[in-house]
């Protein structure tokens, strides 16, 4: 067939961006001057240098304990940099340092497991682990994080989605699969422990009981729980379930204020993943400064003082917001203030920003239709005055938008 130079098989990205804009889904990069409880922001500069404006209070960060700017963590990162700013290679080649091993020992001790393995990100840990395990069937909570969903896709397994936080529905779906003839299959139950958009917690003990009844493995993602619950370990440690959860996974980039992800489990699991998980094998090792910083942050988190302050702020915010008439979901440090309409959520977020508060609007498809919200996440380093400033802003901004 003759070549036809008029055929265009390229990608109309401008059109795709316009469509996102029309659906109020267009996102922009707004650089921050620092990673702190209060900082300056710049409008998206595209390829230019940012121009920062006035300082605003940040209530949209996962830096829950405020350790990203802690001097002890900074000094630890400097010590890590003494061996190199980057690992220089895959951990399996020459990128394995004492900082990696020390962090993994501390993580394993905190998680009450035989070993831990550090990945370049929590996302890499999820997709690499699920794909490496290669289960025949994955039972996944309907609100699991995107990295779990992508891990299921990469694994090529049949994925059965069960109702959010519903052990009875999980049991029914497992029973149906068993009746269909799944005797020789490997089954994996995967769930977040703390869900990032609703701030609720998986009923982990009940899920383990269901999985045990069918001989399935349980894998949990403690991304939003590590450092905050259970002496720093997460929900697994709070509930005393380390001996019933086969794969404990999390991130170093939230409460631990660094970068990277981890998997903790028995010796065979970690040794297998270090040989088979492609996102570990074929990726440069975590930067030594990040590993050293995460280790120090974990040590501080386990002391408990920062965590206690965080929970005081959470309670003050929840009580204050609910007293105004807002619906606040969840039971964790993530406070979803449900607005309903996506346009109202965007308007409320903008009015808050005008009052010096950064709190992000979350709307469909990230959350279901009719449940658009402002996701409020305080830091332990906020002062009592700053917490009250946030509450005052929600009251006046809600009135301005017509929500109160």
Active site residues: 196, 224, 254
Rounded-to-integer distance, Cα 142 and Cα 166, Å: 10
Residue among 1, 5, 50 nearest 28 (CA): 50
Rounded-to-integer distance, Cα 263 and Cα 273, Å: 9
Contact 234, 191 (CB under 8 A): no
Rounded-to-integer distance, Cα 63 and Cα 216, Å: 34
Rounded-to-integer distance, Cα 152 and Cα 159, Å: 7
Residue-by-residue DSSP string for 209-238: HHHHHHT-EEEEE-TTTTTTSGGGT-HHHH
Contact 276, 132 (CB under 8 A): yes
Rounded-to-integer distance, Cα 216 and Cα 42, Å: 49
Q: How many residues does the chain have?
A: 404
Phi-psi sector, 56: left (phi>0), alpha (psi -120 to 50), beta: beta
Angle (CA) 5-6-8 rounded to 5° is 100
Contact 41, 52 (CB under 8 A): yes
């Amino acid at each position: 067939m003759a070549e036809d130079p008029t055929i265009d098989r390229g990608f109309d990205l401008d059109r795709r961006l316009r469509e996102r804009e029309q659906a109020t889904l267009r996102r922009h990069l707004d650089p921050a001057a620092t990673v702190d409880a209060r900082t300056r922001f710049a409008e998206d500069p595209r390829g230019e240098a940012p121009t920062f404006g006035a300082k605003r209070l940040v209530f949209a960060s996962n830096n829950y304990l405020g350790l990203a700017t802690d001097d002890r963590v900074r000094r630890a990162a400097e010590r890590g940099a003494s061996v190199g700013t980057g690992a220089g290679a895959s951990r399996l080649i020459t990128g394995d340092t004492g900082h990696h091993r020390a962090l993994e020992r501390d993580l394993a001790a905190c998680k009450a497991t035989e070993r831990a393995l550090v990945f370049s990100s929590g996302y890499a840990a999820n997709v690499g682990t699920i794909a490496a395990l290669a289960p025949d069937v994955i039972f996944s909570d309907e609100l699991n994080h995107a990295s779990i969903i992508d891990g299921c896709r990469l694994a090529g397994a049949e994925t059965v989605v069960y109702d959010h936080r519903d052990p009875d529905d999980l049991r029914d779906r497992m029973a149906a699969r068993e009746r269909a003839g799944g005797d020789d299959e490997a089954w994996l139950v995967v769930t977040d422990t703390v869900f990032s958009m609703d701030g609720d917690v998986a009923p982990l003990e009940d899920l383990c009981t269901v999985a045990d009844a069918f001989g399935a493995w349980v894998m949990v993602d403690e991304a939003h729980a590590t450092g905050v619950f259970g002496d720093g370990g997460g929900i697994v440690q709070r509930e005393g379930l380390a001996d019933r959860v086969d794969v404990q996974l999390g991130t170093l980039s939230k409460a631990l204020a660094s970068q990277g992800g981890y998997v903790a489990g028995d010796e065979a699991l970690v040794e297998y993943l270090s040989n088979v998980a492609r996102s570990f094998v074929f990726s440069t090792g975590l930067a030594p400064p990040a590993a050293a910083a995460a280790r120090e942050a974990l040590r501080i988190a386990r002391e408990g003082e920062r965590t206690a302050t965080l929970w005081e702020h959470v309670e003050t915010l929840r009580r204050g917001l609910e007293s105004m008439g807002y619906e606040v979901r969840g039971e964790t440090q993530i406070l979803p203030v449900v607005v309903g309409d996506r346009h109202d959520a965007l308007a409320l977020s903008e009015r808050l920003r005008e009052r010096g508060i950064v709190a992000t609007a979350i709307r469909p498809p990230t959350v279901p239709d009719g449940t658009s919200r402002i996701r409020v996440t305080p830091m332990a380093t906020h002062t009592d005055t700053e917490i009250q400033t946030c509450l005052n802003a929600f009251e006046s901004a809600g009135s301005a938008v017509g929500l109160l």
